[in-house]
Each structure stands twice: as C-alpha cells, then as structure tokens.
Amino acid sequence: MAIIILGDRHAGAQAPAVPDAAAVCLSCHGPFGRPETPEYPIIGGQNAAYLASALRAYRAGQRTGEAAGVMTGVAEPLDDRTIEDLAAFFSSLRSLR
Amino acid sequence: MAIIILGDRHAGAQAPAVPDAAAVCLSCHGPFGRPETPEYPIIGGQNAAYLASALRAYRAGQRTGEAAGVMTGVAEPLDDRTIEDLAAFFSSLRSLR
C-alpha cells in the first residue's frame, strides 16, 4: 500500500518525495502529520531542522520517559539521509504553517 | 515588559491568559510560538497534551543532547499547573493550525 500525500505547501515547487520510511510515522502522526492522539506532536509543517534533531535524539537514546520508547524504536534504524528526507517531507506539509 | 499576545485561534471564545512564565518561552520560540531559529520547534498551535508531556520530560531530565540542556533549565522550576497553562496558551496560537 502506498500513501501518496502531496506536500501542498509547495503548490508550485516540486514537493519533497514521500520517503518509504514515512509510512511508520504516518501511522501514529496521521496523514498530514496531524495526529488524532493529542499526546502526540503535530509534525506536519514543523521546522525540518528541529524534526531532524529530534529524530537524532531519539535514535541516540537521548529522549526517555512517556512515549519516547516508541520513538526510539522507530528512529534507531534510520540513517542520516533518511532522517533528513523525513524531516523535509513532514516540514513540507501545511499543518503547522 | 509584558507581552500581550491574544491567542487568535479562539476569536469568539475566551483565549487562555498569557502565563507570566511564557515570556521565557517567547524569547526563543518567538511571539507566535514560531521561532526564527529553524532548529527550535514551532510550539504555537502544537497539541497541548504533547507540549505538557515534553515540558515534563525536560523537567525530569529525560531529554538530553543538542539543545535539551537549555530546555531542562527552563522547565526545572515549573510546577504542573504552570506547565498546563503554558501548554494551553501556546496550543491556542494559530501557527500550527
């Protein structure tokens, strides 16, 4: 199953491609990076540099407590390039703009 | 100096009061919770429950690495009520909606 979400924030420009790894993020953070669950952050439209640093922090085990364990499991296998691609993709979504 | 920011998301309803503690947050995250610095998260309009859980995690020292040290210093003195008030206030700002 492929979820094609056009990053509508760049109506004219080329929207970032949907990284394969995004499917896992979408399952909790929702199709536009806007989760149903209020305890989860809106990541759609969030600053890309912040999203990347948060994913690196989860990957490095620098975030613990509450739901951090789930995110550490998600982030652990991600390489730097995939982290940057995910950050660019979710930042391109309108939710936070 | 007092910064009065009307949480415009509740144009009709009563916008949450601006907590005194918000001044510190605004100094980095910007007047509408939209920081100039891309490494900082947009907190304006973010889910209140998430904002509160993130502040509790910083307060408890459960987030380390990158800019976490600054946030731990900010969150340490905050009591639960102030955390809930800050989360409600910043969530009420339009940036992320």
pLDDT (tens digit per residue) in A41-90: 999 999 999 999 999 999 999 999 878 899 999 999 999 999 999 999 99
B67 lies within 8 A of chain A by CB: yes
Name chain B contacts of A96, Cβ cutoff 8 Å.
42, 45-46, 95-96
Which residues are within 8 A (CB) of B24 and not within 5 positions of it... i.e. 6 or more apart?
B74
Name chain A contacts of B41, Cβ cutoff 8 Å.
46-47, 50, 54
Name chain B contacts of A64, Cβ cutoff 8 Å.
57, 62-63
Q: What is the pLDDT of residues B42-72, one digit of tens each?
A: 999 999 999 999 999 999 999 998 788 999 9
Q: What is the pLDDT of residues A1-28, one digit of tens each?
A: 444 444 444 444 566 778 899 999 999 9
Asked if pLDDT for residue B15 goes beyond 50, the answer is yes
Contact yes or no for A65/B14 (Cβ under 8 A):
no
Alpha-carbon span B65 to A63, nearest angstrom:
8
The residue-averaged pLDDT of B37-44 equals 95
B42 vs A38: CB contact, 8 Å cut-off?
no
CATH number of A20-96: 1.10.760.10
d(CA B39, nearest CA chain A) in Å: 4
Q: What are phi and psi of A10, to 5 degrees?
A: -110, 55
- The predicted pLDDT at position B63 comes to 94
Residue with tokens 């008030």: B85
CATH number of B16-96: 1.10.760.10
Considering only the beta carbons, identify the residue of B39, B63, B97 that sits closest to A62: B63
Residue with tokens 């339009």: B94
B49 vs A39: CB contact, 8 Å cut-off?
yes
Which helix or strand (DSSP H or E) is residue A56 part of?
Answer: helix A48-59
Residue with tokens 């990158």: B66
Considering only the beta carbons, identify the residue of B40, B50, B57 that sits closest to A63: B57
Which residues are within 8 A (CB) of A69 and not within 5 positions of it... i.e. 6 or more apart?
none
Tell me the residue type at A25.
C
Considering only the beta carbons, identify the residue of B63, B65, B95 that sits closest to A96: B95
Considering only the beta carbons, identify the residue of B38, B64, B68 that sits closest to A48: B38
Length of chain B: 97
